[in-house]
């Protein structure tokens, strides 16, 4: 019968390229596999040498962190390092590390080429995720872990106490990734704020990980740990957790991590109740639509209207509810219902001979969600007869870190024959570079520029630059928040064609009469 270690090695080679056994002194005690590939002629030549001899100085520090963590957890990985006899022969590997029991002193490592592990095109990817990808990844991770593991998951939130230089930040992020579940469950949420998902092997798991991170990176930070599974499983629990993480990410410098930990259970339960209320509101379509006119500034002729949600008949502000839907990842559900409602109204009006034109808001987050994009494409293709009546207005684009997927969605909408308007142009990071990646038909200038432009030369200069660029690109412009004739004249003078604001009309619960009536035959 085969030796237990030989069986382990055979199993390792089913998934890996190299097998290593490392002693308690961190020296190699066994090395087998595709050794020529990493410049080692025979495994025996490496026996007794410290593993660090085959790593760069930085990767040796990463491995030191991994060995420290293995004192309190049975396995980690993949730890991403370059391993080889010389700098020229070092290959990027993902190391899966384990100790077979709590009494085991040796560390067993299965090493896999990162080309096989991540895919060739991803081998140079960043060590940690950005906020959007992390928050998209987290619910799936929780669901899969709940099905396949008996251990709980923890999410630790970290805030660096001081700015780190480029080398310090690189070391910190790579170490954080190493300590995370699967080596790819850590994120930089915002400047100096991070999140890491890790297993709870005992009640001290979180503190052990934090101590390891501090000792190996030299970085000081405050932290709070949330039990990802303490509120039960299911989509609502995951969304409530995502909401808590977004609050930490987006809040100011005075955010209280201790308070987050202290009131976590209470806040999670309140958030779950809000999610359930929002879901019922969407399911039962307990909202109304108000319409605000967009007109030609020169002639005051009606161009189109924007559909605005109202959650009661008094026309109360929808900002808080929409913002909450964005933060808990439910905005795509609401956007779908809103789109269907506007399309239903358009079909009814067009069927009786009217000529309406309505812009419906779709969040950039929805337009980067694959399931929503698939439904949107089906919906638009099924209603191509409305392409001269329906405008898609993209909101919250400044919240999207990767414009590539958003640009692809916008291209799909335009290929289906529908016009696209980019809302809040100039707000946040939504500047000129957006027009290089997002090919749109209309841009709506952020209202803050218009409010400031009357009395601020710099704002007027930006306004003129926007108008000049859009004219060259043949993109129509809408000025919003127009409240005075002076603001309208200023916009007209710089070449803005369309206007929206209280000067031209407040949101109304019915469409303007021009869009409801059947055109008179000539």
Instruction: Report the 10 Å Cβ neighbour count for 266.
Output: 9
Report which of 96, 206, 103 is spatially closest to residue 152, judged by C-alpha positions.
Answer: 206
What is the C-alpha separation between 429 and 419, in angstroms, rounded?
23
Name the segment(s) of the chain with CATH classification 3.30.450.20. Answer: 4-122
Q: Note whether 285 and 341 are within 8 A (CB).
A: yes
Instruction: Say how far apart CA 198 and CA 182 lie, in whole Å.
Output: 9
d(CA 413, CA 339): 13
The span from the CA of 253 to the CA of 191, in Å, is: 11
- The per-residue pLDDT for 302 is 96
* More confident: 457 or 428: 457
Least confident of 99-103, 299-303, 306-310: 99-103
Q: Is 443 helix (H, G, I), strand (E, B) or coil?
A: strand
What number is the average pLDDT over the span 24-48? 92
Residue 347: predicted pLDDT: 96
pLDDT in tens, 372-394: 999 999 999 999 999 999 999 99
Between residues 114 and 468, the one the model is more confident about: 468
Dihedrals phi, psi of 154, to nearest 5 degrees: -115, 150
Query: Any residues with CB less than 8 A from the CB of 257 and at least 6 apart, and which?
Result: 157, 159, 222, 223, 224, 248
CA 329, CA 293: separation in Å to the nearest integer? 30
pLDDT band at 48 (very low <50, low <70, confident <90, very high): very high
Task: For residue 349, give the H/E element and its range.
Answer: helix 331-351
Q: Give the closest residue to 172 by CA, choosing from 150, 199, 193.
A: 193
Residue 124, pLDDT score: 47
pTM given for the model = 0.76
The verdict on whether omega for the bond into residue 121 sits within 30 degrees of 0, i.e. cis, is no
CATH 3.30.70 in the chain, residue ranges: 129-276
| CA pair distance 348, 354, nearest whole angstrom | 9
For the domain covering 129-276, report its CATH number: 3.30.70
pLDDT score, position 76 = 82
3-state per-residue secondary structure call for 388-403:
CCEEEEEECHHHCCCH
404: closest CA among 180, 130, 3?
A: 130
Task: Output the average pLDDT for the chain.
Answer: 86
Distance separating alpha carbons of residues 471 and 475, to the nearest angstrom: 6
136-150, 271-285, 447-461 — which is least confidently predicted? 136-150
Q: The CATH number of 285-516 is which of 3.90.199.10, 3.40.50.720, 3.20.20.450, 1.10.3720.10?
A: 3.20.20.450
DSSP, residue by residue, 401-437: S-HHHHHHHHHHHHHTT-EEEEEEETSTT-STTHHHH
Predicted pLDDT of residue 1: 41
Distances (CA, A) of 79 to 97, 98, 179, 217, 451: 8, 12, 8, 16, 52
pLDDT digits (tens, 9 = 90+) for 175-229: 888 888 877 899 999 989 999 998 877 677 788 889 888 888 889 999 999 887 6
Per-residue model confidence as pLDDT tens digits over 148-190: 777 788 899 999 988 788 888 888 888 888 888 877 899 999 9
Rg (CA), the chain: 28
Q: Where in the chain is the domain with CATH 3.20.20.450?
A: 285-516
Q: What is the CATH number of domain 4-122?
A: 3.30.450.20
Of how many residues is the chain composed?
522
Alpha helix (H) residue ranges in 233-294: 235-250, 257-262, 264-283
Two tokens at 108? Answer: 């067993």
User: Is pLDDT at 462 greater than 50 in this prediction?
Assistant: yes
């Amino acid at each position: 019968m085969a030796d237990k270690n030989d069986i382990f090695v055979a199993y390792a080679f089913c998934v890996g390229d190299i097998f290593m056994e490392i002693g308690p002194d961190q020296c190699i005690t066994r090395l087998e596999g595709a050794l020529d590939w990493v410049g080692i002629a025979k495994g025996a030549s490496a026996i007794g040498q410290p593993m660090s001899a085959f790593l760069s100085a930085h990767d040796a520090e990463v491995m030191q962190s991994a060995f420290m963590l293995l004192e309190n957890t049975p396995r980690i990985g993949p730890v991403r390092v370059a391993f080889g006899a010389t700098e020229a022969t070092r290959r990027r590997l993902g190391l899966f590390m384990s100790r077979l029991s709590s009494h085991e002193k040796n560390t067993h490592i299965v090493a896999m080429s990162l080309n096989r592990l991540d895919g060739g095109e991803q081998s140079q990817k960043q060590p940690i995720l950005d906020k959007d990808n992390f928050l998209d990844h987290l619910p799936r991770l929780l669901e899969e872990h709940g099905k396949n593991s008996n251990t709980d998951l923890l999410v630790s939130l970290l805030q660096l106490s001081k700015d780190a230089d480029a080398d310090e930040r690189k070391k910190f992020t790579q170490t954080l990734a190493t300590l995370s579940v699967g080596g790819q469950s850590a994120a930089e949420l915002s400047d100096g704020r991070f999140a890491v998902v890790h297993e709870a092997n005992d009640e001290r798991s979180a503190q052990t990980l934090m101590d390891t991170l501090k000792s190996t990176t030299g970085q000081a930070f405050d932290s709070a740990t949330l039990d990802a599974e303490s509120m039960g499983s299911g989509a609502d629990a995951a969304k409530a957790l995502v909401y808590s993480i977004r609050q930490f990410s987006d809040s100011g410098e005075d955010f209280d991590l201790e308070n987050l930990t202290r009131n976590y259970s209470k806040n999670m339960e309140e958030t779950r109740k809000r999610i359930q209320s929002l879901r019922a509101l969407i399911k039962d379509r307990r909202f109304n639509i108000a319409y605000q006119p967009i007109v030609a500034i020169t002639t005051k002729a009606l161009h189109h209207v924007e559909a605005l949600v109202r959650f009661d008949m008094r026309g109360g502000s929808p900002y808080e509810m929409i913002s909450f839907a964005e933060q808990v990842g439910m905005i795509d559900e609401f956007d779908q219902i809103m789109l269907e409602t506007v399309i239903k109204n358009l079909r009814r009006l067009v069927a009786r001979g009217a000529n309406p034109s309505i812009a419906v808001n779709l969040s950039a987050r929805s337009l980067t969600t694959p399931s929503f994009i698939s439904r949107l494409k089906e919906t638009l293709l099924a209603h191509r007869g409305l392409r001269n009546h329906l405008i898609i207005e993209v909101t919250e684009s400044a919240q999207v870190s990767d414009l590539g997927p958003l640009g692809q969605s916008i291209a799909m909408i335009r290929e289906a024959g529908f016009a696209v308007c980019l809302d809040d142009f100039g707000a946040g990071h939504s500047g000129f570079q957006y027009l290089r990646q997002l090919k749109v038909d209309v841009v709506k200038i952020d209202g803050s520029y218009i409010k400031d432009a009357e009395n601020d030369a710099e704002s007027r200069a930006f306004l003129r630059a926007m108008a000049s660029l859009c004219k060259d690109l043949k993109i129509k412009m809408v000025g919003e928040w127009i409240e005075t004739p002076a603001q309208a004249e200023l916009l007209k003078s710089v070449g803005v064609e369309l206007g929206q604001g209280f000067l031209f009309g407040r949101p109304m619960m019915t469409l303007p009469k021009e869009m409801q009536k059947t055109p008179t035959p000539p």
